Chains A and B, each alone.
Chain A
Amino acid sequence: GAGVSQSPRYKVAKRGQDVALRCDPISGHVSLFWYQQALGQGPEFLTYFQNEAQLDKSGLPSDRFFAERPEGSVSTLKIQRTQQEDSAVYLCASSFEGETGIEQFFGPGTRLTVL
């Protein structure tokens, strides 16, 4: 496909369950970003990869959150022992760094609901 894809689109988890959210960036895009968007809020930065290197994880809210991009393409955001406050839409974005500024292309998001 031409755009960023994310799966699953919807996930319901029981509190304490582990979840894994997948992001397929646009082919050839070097940078990949994860955001958390709570209801009624703007997206908040979680973490950033350049190829397989995780350059910034300052936005991860706790050590229950873990992200990886082992081959510099697909990325997985894992949340361990989910809590109700983890309920949000998780957005993935990718960009091809060039001279025109950091334009990011967003996927449709995964809506996580923790019961």
Chain B
Amino acid sequence: AQSVTQLDSQVPVFEEAPVELRCNYSSSVSVYLFWYVQYPNQGLQLLLKYLSGSTLVKGINGFEAEFNKSQTSFHLRKPSVHISDTAEYFCAVSVDKIIFGKGTRLHILP
């Protein structure tokens, strides 16, 4: 079975500062990895995904994530956050169905 652990439930960060949201997964088989964002009162939107190939994946809104197989991690990063990045971020792993982490709420401080 697969599982996903998001290590931080909330991350406060100042506007224009860099941010990293951590995600670790476990699986006995190869998986697809995703980051989704959920803005207040909206549905989930795909930020980026890792299927195979380059371990550094670039997504929308300036986000990127790096797949590290040895550490079973897929951390999300952005070099400079904006107030509009305030949202809940979910890491997910998929073999036949998607398993989501519990989410990390990103607070942007002015």
Where the two chains meet, the residues of A that have a C-beta atom closer than 8 Å to any C-beta of B are: 4, 33, 35, 40-45, 48, 56, 91, 93, 100-109
Contact = CB atoms under 8 A, between A and B. Distances in A.
A44 B99 CA distance: 7
15 contacts: A35-B100, A41-B102, A42-B4, A42-B90, A42-B92, A42-B103, A45-B98, A56-B97, A93-B44, A100-B51, A102-B98, A105-B46, A106-B43, A106-B45, A108-B42
A42 to B, nearest CB: 4
The 10 closest A-B pairs by CB, nearest first: A42-B100, A106-B44, A106-B43, A108-B43, A101-B51, A101-B32, A42-B102, A43-B100, A42-B103, A45-B97
Q: How large is the interface on B (under 10, 10 to 19, 20 to 34, 35 or more residues)?
A: 20 to 34
Contacts of A35: 100
Given A56-B97, A101-B51, A43 B43 contact: no
Nearest to B91: A42
Contacts of B92: 42
A41 B45 CA distance: 16
Contacts of B94: 101-102
Contacts of A106: 36, 43-45
